[in-house]
């Protein structure tokens, strides 16, 4: 039996397991539990109402019905598959001055009075990736460095999904289409979580 790991984001708990994805270390999301969530079972084909007998009053759960096939699992590789198969992968490290996904600082020897460096000065393209959980595409950012075993799981799109975003402040419900959305039938469940495989550090 696989060990179930948890990640807390405010009052919301994400459960997941470790597993191999595309031949690389990865994670597979099982469910999200927290206040004000409707009880839903999200399968690769549809979203269904559900009942969970183990929840305290006021709590709800989105459960992902993971199937046996690769395309029917909420599973993501920790490392970018294209980068992790390059000959120099094991020696790659984040360049000096780069603080990560959301910004960079000055590297040693750079003029602090000069133009502020951008992420493009430090790294190749962000490598935003998509994997499909059945009919639902999921946007995520796998790691570009072998010593940073963290994957960012951002959001999933598709019909019938709850138009919601569990956040540190509580659940946020979208009352209008987000800018640039793909149509009235497409909804977005925002996750915005970072999972680190500590066993790979």
User: Is residue 135 over pLDDT 90?
Assistant: yes
DSSP letter assigned to residue 45: S
3-class DSSP state for residue 22? coil
Share of the chain above pLDDT 90, in %: 64
Query: What would the pLDDT profile of 81-92 be if each residue is shown by its tens digit?
Result: 999 999 999 999
CA 56/CA 184 separation, integer angstroms: 34
**Cβ–Cβ < 8 Å for 73, 28:** yes
* Res 39: pLDDT: 97
Q: What is the residue whose two structure tokens read 């120099």? A: 88
State residue 28 phi and psi, 5-degree precision.
Answer: -130, 120
Query: What would the pLDDT profile of 98-110 be if each residue is shown by its tens digit?
Result: 555 544 454 555 5
Sign of CA dihedral 1, 166, 75, 187: positive
pTM: 0.83
Query: What would the pLDDT profile of 47-83 be if each residue is shown by its tens digit?
Result: 999 999 899 999 999 999 999 998 999 999 999 999 9
User: Is residue 121 over pLDDT 60?
Assistant: no
* Res 86: pLDDT: 95
CA 44/CA 106 separation, integer angstroms: 44
* Res 167: pLDDT: 87
* Res 174: pLDDT: 67
Question: Side-chain half-sphere of 159: how many Cα atoms within 13 Å?
Answer: 5
């Amino acid at each position: 039996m696989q060990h179930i790991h948890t990640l807390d984001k405010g009052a919301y708990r994400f459960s997941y397991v470790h597993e191999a994805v595309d031949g690389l270390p990865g994670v597979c999301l099982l469910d999200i539990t927290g206040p004000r969530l409707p009880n839903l079972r999200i399968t690769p084909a549809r979203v269904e109402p559900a009942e969970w007998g183990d929840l305290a009053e006021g709590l709800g759960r989105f459960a992902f019905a993971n199937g046996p096939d690769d395309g029917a699992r909420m599973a993501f590789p920790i490392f970018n598959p294209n980068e992790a198969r390059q000959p120099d992968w094991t020696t790659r490290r984040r360049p000096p001055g780069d603080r990560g996904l959301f910004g960079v600082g000055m590297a040693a020897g750079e003029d602090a009075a000069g133009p502020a460096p951008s992420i493009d000065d430090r790294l190749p393209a962000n490598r935003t990736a998509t994997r499909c959980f059945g009919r639902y595409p999921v946007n995520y950012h796998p790691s570009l460095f072998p010593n940073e075993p963290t994957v960012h799981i951002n959001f999933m799109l598709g019909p019938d999904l709850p138009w919601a975003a569990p956040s540190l402040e509580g659940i946020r419900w979208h009352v209008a289409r987000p800018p640039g959305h793909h149509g009235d039938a497409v909804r977005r469940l925002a996750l915005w979580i970072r999972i680190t495989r500590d066993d790979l550090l």
